[in-house]
Structure 1
Amino acid sequence: MAYRLHFGEADLLRCRFAVSPLWETQEAVRTLARPERHGYQLPWLRRIRQATAGLDLTPLWLLMPQRGHTPDCLGPPPIGPSATFEEEIAAVRAADPVAARADIAQSLACTPGASDSPAGRAMLADPARAVREMAALLERAWRALVEPDWPRLRALLEADVAFHSRRLAEVGLEGLLGELNPRLAWSGDGRTLTIDRPGEHERTLGGQGLVLMPSVFCWPEVVSGFDPPWQPTVAYPARGIGGLWTRAAERTPESLARLLGRGRADVLCGLDEPASTSALAHGLGLAPSTVSEHLSVLRGSGLVVSRRYGHQVLYERTPLGIALSTAL
Structure 2
Amino acid sequence: MPSRLHFDEDDFLRCRFVVSPLWETQEAVRTLRRPDRQGYHAPWLRRIRAVADGLDLTPLWLLMPRHGHSPDWLVPPPAGPAASVEEELAALRAVDPHTARADTARSLADTPGALDSATGRAWLADPARMVRELTDALEAAWEVLVAPDWPRLRALLEADIAFHSRRLAEVGLGGLLPEIHRDCAWRSGTLTVQSGGRYERRLGGQGLVLMPSVFTWPDLISTFEPPARPTLVYPARGIGGLWTEPAATTPDALVRLLGRGRATVLGALTDPASTTALAHRLRLAPSSVSAHLTALRDAGLLTSRRYGHQVLYERTPLGIALASGATAPGDG
Write the letter of the residue equivalent to 1:211.
V
Q: What is the aligned partner in structure 2 of residue 285 from structure 1?
A: 283
Give the secondary-structure state (helix, strand or coil) at the position aligned to 2:273. Answer: coil
Q: What is the aligned partner in structure 2 of residue 143 from structure 1?
A: 143
User: Which whole-Å CA distance do the structure 2 matches of 1:308 and 1:185 have between them?
Assistant: 31
User: Which whole-Å CA distance do the structure 1 matches of 2:239 and 2:61 have between them?
Assistant: 24
Q: What is the aligned partner in structure 2 of residue 302 from structure 1?
A: 300
Count of residue pairs the alignment pairs up? 326
User: Which whole-Å CA distance do the structure 1 matches of 2:35 and 2:143 have between them?
Assistant: 20
More divergent stretch after superposition (246-255 vs 175-184): 246-255
Q: What is the aligned partner in structure 2 of residue 65 from structure 1?
A: 65
Q: Is the 8 A contact 2:196 2:222 kept in 1?
A: no
Q: What is the aligned partner in structure 2 of residue 314 from structure 1?
A: 312
Q: Is the 8 A contact 2:199 2:225 kept in 1?
A: no
User: Which whole-Å CA distance do the structure 2 matches of 1:32 and 1:312 have between them?
Assistant: 30
User: Which whole-Å CA distance do the structure 2 matches of 1:142 and 1:110 have between them?
Assistant: 25
Give the secondary-structure state (helix, strand or coil) at the position aligned to 2:185. Answer: strand
| Structural RMSD (CA) | 1.6
Q: What is the aligned partner in structure 2 of residue 265 from structure 1?
A: 263
Alpha carbons of structure 1 residues 121 and 310: separation in structure 2 relative to 1, 3 Å: same
Q: Is the 8 A contact 1:100 1:127 kept in 2?
A: yes
Q: How does 1:1-328 map to 2 (within 5 A)?
A: 1-187=1-187, 190-250=188-248, 252-327=250-325, 328=327
Give the secondary-structure state (helix, strand or coil) at the position aligned to 1:40. Answer: coil
Q: TM-score, normalised by structure 1?
A: 0.95
User: Which whole-Å CA distance do the structure 2 matches of 1:199 and 1:157 have between them?
Assistant: 25
Q: Is the 8 A contact 1:77 1:230 kept in 2?
A: no
Q: CA deviation at 1:140?
A: 0.6
Q: Is the 8 A contact 2:213 2:235 kept in 1?
A: yes
Q: Is the 8 A contact 1:20 1:82 kept in 2?
A: yes
User: Which whole-Å CA distance do the structure 2 matches of 1:219 and 1:257 have between them?
Assistant: 36
Deviations 1:90-136 (A, max 9, x none): 11111112211110111111112211122222222222211110000
Alpha carbons of structure 1 residues 60 and 207: separation in structure 2 relative to 1, 3 Å: same
Alpha carbons of structure 1 residues 15 and 222: separation in structure 2 relative to 1, 3 Å: same
Deviations 1:32-91 (A, max 9, x none): 122443211111111112221320101100000111111011111111111111111111
User: Which whole-Å CA distance do the structure 2 matches of 1:205 and 1:36 have between them?
Assistant: 33
Q: CA deviation at 1:272?
A: 1.6
Q: Is the 8 A contact 1:251 1:269 kept in 2?
A: no
Give the secondary-structure state (helix, strand or coil) at the position aligned to 2:73. Answer: helix
User: Which whole-Å CA distance do the structure 2 matches of 1:225 and 1:203 have between them?
Assistant: 11
Q: What is the aligned partner in structure 1 of residue 330 from structure 2?
A: none
User: Which whole-Å CA distance do the structure 2 matches of 1:74 and 1:251 have between them?
Assistant: 44
Q: CA deviation at 1:311?
A: 1.6
Q: CA deviation at 1:198?
A: 4.5
Deviations 1:253-310 (A, max 9, x none): 4543444333222211221221111110001111111111211221122111112222
Q: CA deviation at 1:214?
A: 0.6
User: Which whole-Å CA distance do the structure 2 matches of 1:66 and 1:304 have between them?
Assistant: 44
Q: Is the 8 A contact 1:213 1:233 kept in 2?
A: yes
Give the secondary-structure state (helix, strand or coil) at the position aligned to 1:213. Answer: strand
Q: Is the 8 A contact 1:268 1:317 kept in 2?
A: yes
Identity of aligned pairs, percent? Answer: 69
User: Which whole-Å CA distance do the structure 2 matches of 1:31 and 1:158 have between them?
Assistant: 21
Q: CA deviation at 1:210?
A: 0.5
Write the letter of the residue equivalent to 2:128.
A
User: Which whole-Å CA distance do the structure 1 matches of 2:215 and 2:166 have between them?
Assistant: 24
Structure 2: state its 5+ residue gaps: 328-332
Give the secondary-structure state (helix, strand or coil) at the position aligned to 1:315. Answer: strand
Deviations 1:209-268 (A, max 9, x none): 001111111000011124333221101011111111112335854543444333222211
Q: Is the 8 A contact 1:22 1:75 kept in 2?
A: yes
User: Which whole-Å CA distance do the structure 2 matches of 1:199 and 1:289 have between them?
Assistant: 48
Write the letter of the residue equivalent to 1:243.
G
User: Which whole-Å CA distance do the structure 1 matches of 2:244 and 2:250 have between them?
Assistant: 11
Give the secondary-structure state (helix, strand or coil) at the position aligned to 1:298. Answer: helix
